[in-house]
C-alpha cells in the first residue's frame, strides 16, 4: 500500500522496485524447497522438456562456465541430468529427472502463489492492465521465456 494515495513513483523506480519484490518472492519460494533462486529458474526453464546447454545459457543469461556449475550442482542434488542430443552427438541436453519434475511443479506453484500476492491491492481490471503493460515491455525487449503461464 502506498503511504500516500497521491504519491507517485516514476517508471524506472517502479520497475526496479517491483523487480526486487518479485526476486524476493521467488527467492523465498526457492528457499522453502531448499533451492537457490538460480536452481529454481533452471527447473522452471526445463519444465517444457530437455534443453540444450546453449539455449539454457541464452535463456538464463549465464556464461558457459556459470551454467556448467549450476547444472553440475543441480545434477548432484538429483534434479537434472545430462544426455546426448539425439540430433548432434557433440551436444548435450539437460532434462529434469523424475524427482526434479516433481520438485519443479511444486516450486513453480509456490512461486506463482507468492508472486500472485504482490498486486493484491489491485482490482481485476487493474491487474489485467498491469499484465498487458508488463507483457508489452517483456515482448518488446524479447525477454526469453524463463517463466511462463501454465493452464
Report residue 4's pLDDT band, with 50, 70 and 90 as the boundaries.
Answer: low
Mean pLDDT estimate for the chain? 91
CATH code where residue 96 lies: 1.10.10.10
Residue with cell 519444465: 47
In-domain check, residue 74: yes
In-domain check, residue 16: no
Distance CA 126, CA 108 (A): 24
Q: Which domain holds residue 83?
A: 36-140
Instruction: Please give the tally of structural domains in the chain.
Output: 1
Distance CA 39, CA 60 (A): 11
In-domain check, residue 30: no
Express each pLDDT in 8-22 by its tens digit. 899 999 999 999 999
In-domain check, residue 3: no
Task: Give the DSSP letter of residue 16.
Answer: H
Q: Where are the beta strands (DSSP E) in the chain?
A: 51-52, 80-85, 88-96
Express each pLDDT in 86-107 by its tens digit. 888 888 999 999 999 999 999 9
pTM: 0.85
Amino acid at each position: 500500500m502506498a503511504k500516500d494515495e497521491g504519491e507517485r513513483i516514476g517508471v524506472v523506480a517502479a520497475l526496479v522496485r517491483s523487480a526486487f519484490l518479485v526476486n524476493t518472492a521467488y527467492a523465498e519460494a526457492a528457499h522453502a524447497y531448499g533451492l537457490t533462486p538460480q536452481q529454481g529458474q533452471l527447473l522452471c526453464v526445463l519444465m517444457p522438456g530437455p534443453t540444450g546447454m546453449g539455449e539454457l545459457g541464452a535463456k538464463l543469461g549465464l556464461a558457459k562456465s556459470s551454467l556448467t556449475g549450476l547444472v553440475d550442482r543441480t545434477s548432484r542434488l538429483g534434479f537434472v541430468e545430462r544426455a546426448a542430443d539425439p540430433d548432434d552427438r557433440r551436444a548435450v541436453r539437460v532434462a529434469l529427472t523424475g524427482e526434479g519434475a516433481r520438485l519443479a511443479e511444486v516450486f513453480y506453484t509456490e512461486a506463482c502463489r507468492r508472486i500472485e500476492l504482490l498486486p493484491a491491492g489491485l482490482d481485476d481490471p487493474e491487474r489485467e492492465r498491469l499484465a498487458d503493460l508488463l507483457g508489452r515491455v517483456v515482448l518488446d525487449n524479447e525477454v526469453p521465456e524463463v517463466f511462463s503461464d501454465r493452464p
